[in-house]
Amino acid sequence: MTIEDRDDAYLVTHALAKDTLSRLRDVSTEQVAFRKGLVKLGRICGYEIIDGAMGTEYVPVRTPLAETTGERVKGMDDVVIVNVLRAATPFVEGLLKAFPRAKQGVISAGRDEEAGMNDDGEFPITIDYVKLPEIGPDDTVIVADPMLATGSTMCAVLEHILAEADDYEDLFVLSAVSAPDGLVRVGEEVPDADLLTVAIDDHLDEDGFIVPGLGDAGDRAFRTT
């Protein structure tokens, strides 16, 4: 397993995850390669969640030659993936390669960049659309957003999810790059969530961007400015 348990989060340490994230960070990686990189990273993270959190059960298998015992991943039909629009869309596309039968939720959330960060390091968040599947006690819920900066978006998103779902098997917050501030904030506000990320970066700049980070993930994937 290539997940490292730290005090503030679980780190996905798979070599391919690090390689893919480094290409995403590169300023010369253009839109198509950036989007494909997010898809790839989502798939790798999905496999890591399967390996680290889901486990297998024994099943009888008949090969062309004999009866034998095989293993099957448990709980693949009890997975909920929440796509935090918009930057998570390619990331979720990759996750769905690992969890093809996942139930899917969508929450459209955006930071009010014009209002800016307040003195507590928080952004006002606008939530425009929420559509979630039914979430039950057997479900592994994965809330995906490639960037966890101040944590304002994720806290607002989790508030909506928890208002509709009070019982689940596991709740993962999955990001590609996290800032220490965001991890602390989400960890304090939703202690029940397991925070999973590929990298924990150094700090936030005065505009609330992760440094070194990878810039604005939504803009780079969707070619907006």
Ligand X SMILES: O=P(O)(O)OC[C@H]1O[C@H](OP(=O)(O)OP(=O)(O)O)[C@H](O)[C@@H]1O
Note the residues at the interface with ligand URA (CB under 6 A): 87, 147, 149, 209-210, 213, 216-218
Give the residue ranges of the annotated binding site.
36-40, 86, 111, 145-153, 210, 215-217
Give whichever of 171 and 186 is closer to ligand X, judged by the CB atom.
186
Residue with tokens 């939703």: 190
Stretch 182-221: interaction string toward Mg ion, x if CB under 5 A: ----------------------------------x-x---
* Minimum CB distance to Mg ion smaller for 109 or for 141: 109
Annotated binding site for uracil: 210, 215-217
**Under the criterion CB under 6 A, does residue 152 sit at the interface with ligand X?**
yes
Residues 160-219 within binding reach of ligand X (CB under 6 A): 182, 208, 216-218
Contacts of 119 (CB under 8 A, 6+ apart): none
Residues that bind Mg ion (CB under 5 A): 216, 218
